Amino acid sequence: MSIWWSLHLRREAASVPLARRLLLGTMETAGVDPDVSYDLSLALSEACANAVEHGGESGPPDSSAAYRVTAYLDGEKCRIEVTDSGPGFPPVRPRPTPMEAENGRGLCLIRELADHVQIGNKPGRGAVVSFDKILKWRKDAPLMAV
């Protein structure tokens, strides 16, 4: 079983729950375990919120008003990628933000919720946050990987 979708979203707060609901609906329909679905949807929300807040100060004209979310459910793994058109991550990253801090917890949370995380830049096109997680399936999963 393989499912993938890609969204081109405006950098507005209202786009974050839209992406989250689409991911949750896809995983529920496929039969993914609700706990895994919740973890991935929370990580996606954090990545989207970062793109909305930080992802549009540079890049090609008119591109800063949008970001892209792509999700792949392929076999036993789900991979999600969020790409924006902002300045990207700085070359030298500051120390990790403590979980008690008011801001800056999103990337830490994504690392805690996903099995594998890649954070980087696409030259001239902004930041990319990609993460994946091994899927668990409900017993009655209609699209369970075999």
Phi first, then psi: what are they for 39, rounded to 5°?
A: -60, -45
Sheet containing 116-122, strands listed edge to edge, beginning at the edge strand earlier in sequence: 2-10, 66-74, 77-83, 126-134, 116-122
- How far apart CA 80 and CA 117 sit, in angstroms, is 10
Q: What is the mean pLDDT of the chain?
A: 86
Residue 55: CB atoms within 10 A of its CB come to 26
- pLDDT (average), residues 42-62: 81
pLDDT above 70 (res 106) = yes
- How far apart CA 84 and CA 95 sit, in angstroms, is 23
pLDDT for 96 equals 60
pLDDT for 62 equals 54
pLDDT for 15 equals 96
pTM to 2 decimal places: 0.85
User: Measured in whole angstroms, how far is the alpha carbon of residue 95 from the centre of its chain?
Assistant: 22
pLDDT above 70 (res 98) = no
pLDDT for 82 equals 96
